[in-house]
Amino acid sequence: MTVIQKAPAEASTMLADSSLLEKIDQLFACNVGEYINLPQLVVVGDQSSGKSSVLEGLTNLKFPRNSGLCTRFATQIIFRRDRKLKTRKISGSIISTTHDDEKEKSGWSISDIETLNDSEFEKMMAEVHVVMGLSNSVGDNLPTFSSDVLRLEIHGPDENHLSVIDVPGIFKTTTPGLTSKSDITLVRDMVLNYMRNPRSIILAVVPANVDIATQEIIEIARELDPDGMRTLRILTKPDLVDKGAEDKIIELVEGKQESQELGWVVVKNLGQKDLQDLSISRNHEEDLFFRSPPWNRLSSDNYGIEALRTRLQALLAANVRRAFPSVRSEVSRRLKKCKKVLESLGEEREFTEQQSKFLLEIVSKFQRITENALHTNYGSQDAFDEEPGLRLATLVANRNAQFSDDFSTVGHVYGFMSHSHDDDLNAPRDSGVASPASSVGAHVGDTDDDDDDEQQGQERNFVPSRKLNSCPDIEDILHDCVPIKNCQSQGILVWIENIYRESRGFEIGTFNSSILSSVLKKQSAKWPSLAEGYICDIISMVHTFTSKALKISCGDPRMRQNILSFLLDDLMDKYRQALSTTEFLLQIEREGTPMTQNHYLNSNLQKCRQERISSAVKNSQHSVTLADNTKVDWVRVSDIAQTHHMNNLQQTVQDIHDILKSYYKVAKKRFIDNICMQAADFYLVTGPTAPMKLFSPSWVYNLSSEQLENLVGEEASVQRKRRQLKKQVKDLEIGRNILL
């Protein structure tokens, strides 16, 4: 198949269009024809139709006859008149339509060659085959055909304005070791691609000595151009028509055509024997043939290579004038679309500097989200409304409060004795249900007078140690959720007495200090589950925040996962540090020596003793009204002494209880604060080494080139697409400038 892209002939009316034709040629040269349809003449036919001979007649170039160098890629031949030149000048280059080895292909060229005879043409074609990587011998496993284009420019003082693109002819039979069935499909698709171009003029070449009505190329042309508006049919080999069949050919060519059809042209090329005789003129022999009967009945504009050239020039000139405005607008639209797609790929990340810059921009976005999250500046970004998990400061503050509440309600094994009904911590907050009491005193939960722990509540069976589900990629280091039973509302004195009986020594009126450590450890047996559940929830919040903030900062899922995976080991170290700190604080409070400098211990202890005495004498209380109507309660000293009588064991157990209760309050407050401030806030949320601060500029600067490539380097497919788009943008920008 051949494509001819035509410039005007010598007539002044056609030369007026030479600038437009020149622009179209330049668009082909910068590869714009790969992206939009350009006006062109398409010569189609099979390998035995004689189309190569037609091409030689139009161009006056001797194409190689070597079967190994037959047309296996598109060849664009451009003829331009330049009266400044004294002789013909030929230049050549390769237009790459693929994107592999582009630089190598575009590097091949020839320039200012004055002649291109048979042997020189054959040598040049052999070089092009090598550059394009095409097969030169049987079994070399190289492709037979290429979609790249060989561009030849021929300038001279006597050249006509004409452009020809010669592409492989369709064929149906394979050549062993050279072509395959896949090559048949490849060439056919290439031909159809040119023919489908709505701006192309189809030149369907068929030999006159076959049944024209059954020729495949005619059927294809009729299918793609049913009205015949852009199909010129060319008959070759009229000298091979059977005697007596000439009238049918003449009738076909001279027959009435539809008004829009382009009709027929008959050409007669030299035979193989005549080609060997350099003294024979092709045009002269053709003219003699058509002047002899019965062919002399044909109209002069329906036969001969010159008539064909004239019609092609007129057709292409009209086609270019008609299509030029739409070509200009289509180039602009395609350029805008390519730029938009290229922009959607993000910044280029092929080199280390580009990758580092790109990653730093992600870090900057991540840090901005983190800063706003920790300062509760939620109105700064819509993401905080779309992703509640980003509201880190609020989530942590709420979990801190819940942790404190759980500690106060279920943190102890036994409820402490109290003589005040407003001191119930066994029940959940704000339930409004009174706690049980006895004549001696109710065993109720531990509370503090200076906080909100003195609210009554309804008992619950248990509370979960974890409030959040674990994150899948860190669940291995987190503790499982366990149910924590509510404290036992009664029995603390019996429990303390049993411990005392099993641990007493030779003390008189007092007890061994180790007993306090023992009962404290047993009374705080739920602390590990509560503290571990709390710190695991904070870790989950931080990890979820990190994942979501990365999602907002980095839109590429693959890249985001790469970054998170790369950070995961360091993140896990941070999380383990928080878990380790929790274990450390638990060990100090539960297994270390009970110790405090807080005066609140003594204050609580005095309060416990005073409440016990007051409660004991409450039944012996009397009231009297003084002269000024003031009501006064009074108790006899003897009643106090009698009511307060205890044996040694009871007194010791009661003292242990009061000291345990007072110290437990101090230790509990201290532990809650330490866990929230040190294990959670310092190591996980706002501290200088918090996990979110790992993803920082310094981290980026310490990455090696290989690590940067693995983290944010573009995939090979994206790199290929970006190169293709950049090439398109470059070509289309050149094309747009040509069309200005």
DSSP code per residue over 354-402: HHHHHHHHHHHHHHHHHHHHHTT-GGG-THHHH-GGG-HHHHHHHHHHH
The contacts of residue 240 (CB under 8 Å, 6+ apart) are 207, 208, 209
Same domain, 313 and 392: no
Same domain, 227 and 269: yes
pLDDT at position 163 is 72
Question: Cα(155)–Cα(90) distance, rounded to whole angstroms?
Answer: 7
CA distances from 533 to 49, 124, 324, 465, 479 (A): 85, 79, 74, 5, 7
Question: Cα(154)–Cα(149) distance, rounded to whole angstroms?
Answer: 16
pLDDT at position 337 is 94
Are residues 96 and 102 in contact, defined by beta-carbon separation less than 8 angstroms?
A: yes
pLDDT in tens, 678-713: 999 999 999 999 999 999 999 999 999 999 999 988
| Confidence at 369, pLDDT banded by 50, 70, 90 | very high
pLDDT at position 95 is 81
* CATH number of 126's domain: 3.40.50.300
The torsion defined by the Cα of 619, 625, 630 and 635, in degrees rounded to 10, comes to -30
Residue 541: CA count within 13 A, CB half-sphere: 28
Residue 47 has pLDDT above 70, yes or no: yes
Q: Taking the mean position of all CA atoms in its chain, how far away is CA 449?
A: 58
Residue 510 has pLDDT above 80, yes or no: no
Residue 11 has pLDDT above 70, yes or no: no
In this prediction, what percent of the chain has a pLDDT beyond 70? Answer: 84
> Is 298 part of any domain?
yes
First to last CA, the chain: 33
Same domain, 110 and 247: yes
Which range is least confidently modeled, 288-297, 418-427, 603-612? 418-427
pLDDT in tens, 664-686: 988 999 999 999 999 999 999 99
| Confidence at 421, pLDDT banded by 50, 70, 90 | very low
Amino acid 441 reads G
Same domain, 127 and 221: yes
pLDDT at position 603 is 76
In angstroms, what is the C-alpha Rg of the chain?
Answer: 48
Is residue 39 reached through a cis peptide bond, with omega within 30 degrees of 0 on the bond before it? no
Residue 259 has pLDDT above 70, yes or no: no
Are residues 429 and 457 in contact, defined by beta-carbon separation less than 8 angstroms?
A: yes
Q: For residue 133, which of 122, 123, 145, 121 has the smallest C-alpha distance?
A: 145
- As beta bridge partners, residue 155 has 80, 89
Pairing of strands 40-44, 200-207: parallel
pLDDT at position 393 is 96
Are residues 230 and 202 in contact, defined by beta-carbon separation less than 8 angstroms?
A: yes
> Is 350 part of any domain?
no
Same domain, 390 and 315: no
The torsion defined by the Cα of 616, 620, 621 and 625, in degrees rounded to 10, comes to -170
Are residues 652 and 519 in contact, defined by beta-carbon separation less than 8 angstroms?
A: no
Residue with tokens 């701006």: 199
Q: List, as one string, the DSSP characters of 227-239.
A: T-TTEEEEEE-GG
Element (H, E) at 625: strand 622-625
Show the domain range for 161. 2-342+733-739
Residue 60 has pLDDT above 80, yes or no: no
| Reduced DSSP (H G I as helix, E B as strand, rest coil) percent helix, strand, coil of the chain, to 5 | 55, 10, 35
| Confidence at 17, pLDDT banded by 50, 70, 90 | low
| Confidence at 212, pLDDT banded by 50, 70, 90 | confident
Residue 708 neighbours by CB distance under 10 Å: 20
Helix (H, G, I), strand (E, B) or coil at 373: helix
294 φ/ψ angles, rounded to the nearest 5 degrees: -90, 5
pLDDT at position 364 is 95
- As beta bridge partners, residue 77 has 152, 164
374 φ/ψ angles, rounded to the nearest 5 degrees: -75, -25
The contacts of residue 368 (CB under 8 Å, 6+ apart) are none
pLDDT at position 275 is 73
Same domain, 502 and 383: yes
Same domain, 419 and 300: no
Evaluated on CA atoms 120, 123, 125, 127, the torsion sign reads: negative
Same domain, 61 and 209: yes
CA distances from 522 to 42, 273, 465 (A): 95, 115, 18
Residue 374 neighbours by CB distance under 10 Å: 16
Mean pLDDT of the chain: 81
Q: Taking the mean position of all CA atoms in its chain, how far away is CA 234?
A: 52
> Is 585 part of any domain?
yes
Question: Cα(48)–Cα(162) distance, rounded to whole angstroms?
Answer: 24
Same domain, 54 and 172: yes
Which range is least confidently modeled, 392-396, 479-483, 497-501, 624-628? 624-628
CA distances from 146 to 38, 95, 128, 187, 190 (A): 20, 11, 11, 9, 10
pLDDT at position 556 is 86
Q: Taking the mean position of all CA atoms in its chain, how far away is CA 589?
A: 50
Question: Cα(547)–Cα(663) distance, rounded to whole angstroms?
Answer: 42
> Is 453 part of any domain?
yes
Q: Which stretches within 86-237 are classed as H helix?
A: 102-106, 118-132, 181-196, 216-224
Question: Cα(574)–Cα(582) distance, rounded to whole angstroms?
Answer: 13
Task: Name the domain count of the chain.
Answer: 2
pLDDT at position 441 is 35
Q: For residue 712, which of 548, 549, 553 has the smallest C-alpha distance?
A: 553
Same domain, 334 and 465: no
Average pLDDT over residues 16-39: 81
pLDDT at position 613 is 66
Mapped to the 3 state alphabet, what secondary structure does 435-488 carry? CCCCCCCEEECCCCCCCCCCCCCCCCCEEECCCCCCCHHHHHHCCCCCEEECCE
> Is 372 part of any domain?
yes
Question: Cα(234)–Cα(312) distance, rounded to whole angstroms?
Answer: 11
Question: Cα(349)–Cα(715) distance, rounded to whole angstroms?
Answer: 10
pLDDT at position 645 is 59
Average pLDDT over residues 389-415: 93
Residue with tokens 């929230």: 676
Question: Cα(484)–Cα(411) distance, rounded to whole angstroms?
Answer: 9
pLDDT in tens, 314-325: 888 888 888 888
> Is 30 part of any domain?
yes
pLDDT at position 54 is 87
163 φ/ψ angles, rounded to the nearest 5 degrees: -130, 135
Residue 98 has pLDDT above 70, yes or no: no
Residue 723 neighbours by CB distance under 10 Å: 15
**E strands along 359-438, which residues?**
416-418
Same domain, 304 and 368: no
Question: Cα(464)–Cα(521) distance, rounded to whole angstroms?
Answer: 21
> Is 356 part of any domain?
no
DSSP state of 717: H
Same domain, 383 and 323: no
> Is 728 part of any domain?
no
Which range is least confidently modeled, 134-148, 276-290, 523-537, 635-649? 635-649
The residue count for the chain:
740
Q: List, as one string, the DSSP characters of 14-75.
A: HHTTHHHHHHHHHHHHTTGGGTS---EEEEE-BTTSSHHHHHHHHH-------GGGS--SEE
Q: Which stretches within 617-647 are classed as H helix?
A: 637-643
